Amino acid sequence: MTTTYAVLSEGLSKRYGEVSALRGLDLAVPEGTVCGVLGPNGAGKTTAVRVLTTLLRPDAGSARVAGRDVVRDPAGVRERIAVTGQYASVDGDLTGAENLRLFAGLLRAPRGRADELLERFGLTEAAGRPARTYSGGMRRRLDLAASLLVRPRVLFLDEPTTGLDPHSRGEIWDAVRESASQGTTVLLTTQYLEEADQLADDIVLIDGGRAAHRGTPSELKAMLGSRAEVVVADPALLHAAAAVLDQLTGSVPTLDAERRTVGAVTTDITLTLPRIVREIDAAGVHIVDATLRPPTLDEVFLRLTERPDAPTPSPLRS
Ligand code: ATP
């Protein structure tokens, strides 16, 4: 079976004067999937979204979105996409319902779709109030609802939940999942690693204007390996426990005498917690607590975007 890509870019480059925001960005997002685009501040995420949504022309490279070329057929791209950003584009003087009905008319959305979306986003009660009286979360929900009036082929979400409370964030997540399940491809930039972990089938980590790493959340986590941590009863035996952990994991353990803890990272997926406990116990060290856990996406992000000239203390080594 051949994969159809809803977003496909090759060598996308964009400069703002002296600043190279994109330096040969390659993206390939299969149709019907959710792609999480992550990257440190200034990595080029927003620029990439602006190029892919035809708001900015690339200096070099090419991109096709929903099968249309962003430079040669920007109108074709725009007909097939929806964009929702951090700054909601609703009209504050109109009520929630008027905002949606206005867009619904312009977009020739099916009858009743506006009311259905108001209901789905928990805005029915507030529907008669001017949108300027809405909270940030309500505005964002209204904005996303407007993007979904006509099911877009590709939905671009640029930091859709920045500043939202966990409840509103959950509602946006549900809406994204629902759109994806109905076949919409979603490209999502986010600062929240948990958001990407929850929603994305694939993650692309952009750094310095290019795709530095890509994979599923589990693949990215597996790149770093899991961390074993053992708390011993007697701090005098920390070194003995460390020697066993060293042998089992093949990596240099870190010791924390105050917490009576020794930890090490392993990429050996066959290494289990019972085995670690058994072998340390067999060396005559009494264990109080032990864990073996994959890194969080936050840890993956920190490690993969570490700057050699600005060393951030890595949580995996702390
Ligand atoms: P953030 O996470 O902070 O939103 P980002 O990954 O979205 O960052 P971009 O906004 O795409 O990054 O910016 C990429 C680079 O281009 C940065 O160095 C930024 O300072 C620069 N840049 C972005 N927009 C402009 C502009 N209009 N004029 C000049 N430089 C710009």
> Which domain range does residue 15 map to?
5-215
| Final residue before a domain boundary, out of 215, 250, 278 | 215
CA max distance for the chain = 75
- pLDDT level of residue 191 (50, 70, 90 thresholds): confident
46 lines ligand 1 (CB under 6 A): yes
* DSSP sequence for 182-226: TT-EEEEE-S-HHHHHHH-SEEEEEETTEEEEEE-HHHHHHHH-E
Q: Is 139 helix (H, G, I), strand (E, B) or coil?
A: helix
* pLDDT, average across residues 38-61: 93
User: What is the per-residue pLDDT for 159?
Assistant: 87
> Which of the given ranges, 23-27, 77-81, 174-178, 312-316, has the highest pLDDT on average?
23-27
36 lines ligand 1 (CB under 6 A): no
189 CA from centroid of ligand 1 (Å): 13
Together in a domain, 86 and 175: yes
* pLDDT, average across residues 226-255: 94
What is the overall mean pLDDT for the chain? 89
Together in a domain, 142 and 101: yes
Together in a domain, 160 and 103: yes
User: What is the per-residue pLDDT for 318?
Assistant: 35
Check residues 121 and 254 and name the one with the higher pLDDT. 254
Q: Is 86 exposed, middle or buried (0-12, 13-18, 19+ CB in 10 A)?
A: middle
75 CA from centroid of ligand 1 (Å): 25
128 lines ligand 1 (CB under 6 A): no
Is the per-residue pLDDT at 86 higher than 70? no
User: What is the per-residue pLDDT for 1?
Assistant: 66
Q: Please name the residues in contact with 78: beta carbons below 8 A apart, sequence gap of 6 or more.
A: 53, 54
- pLDDT level of residue 315 (50, 70, 90 thresholds): very low
Check the CA dihedral 78-84-87-88 and report its sign.
positive
Together in a domain, 211 and 148: yes
* pLDDT, average across residues 99-112: 86
Together in a domain, 33 and 127: yes
| Final residue before a domain boundary, out of 215, 233, 251 | 215
- pLDDT level of residue 3 (50, 70, 90 thresholds): confident
Q: Give start and end residues of each alpha helix (H) in 148-192.
A: 166-181
For residue 106, the domain's CATH number is 3.40.50.300
Check residues 299 and 186 and name the one with the higher pLDDT. 186
Together in a domain, 311 and 244: yes
Together in a domain, 181 and 275: no
208 CA from centroid of ligand 1 (Å): 10
Together in a domain, 199 and 75: yes
Together in a domain, 98 and 202: yes
For residue 260, the domain's CATH number is 3.30.70.100
- pLDDT level of residue 111 (50, 70, 90 thresholds): confident
85 lines ligand 1 (CB under 6 A): no
313 lines ligand 1 (CB under 6 A): no
217 lines ligand 1 (CB under 6 A): no
User: What is the per-residue pLDDT for 109?
Assistant: 85
Together in a domain, 197 and 229: no
| Final residue before a domain boundary, out of 196, 215, 234 | 215
47 lines ligand 1 (CB under 6 A): yes
Domain count within the chain = 2
Together in a domain, 242 and 178: no
Q: What residue's CA is closest to ligand 1, atom 21?
A: 21
Together in a domain, 202 and 237: no
* pLDDT, average across residues 227-236: 95
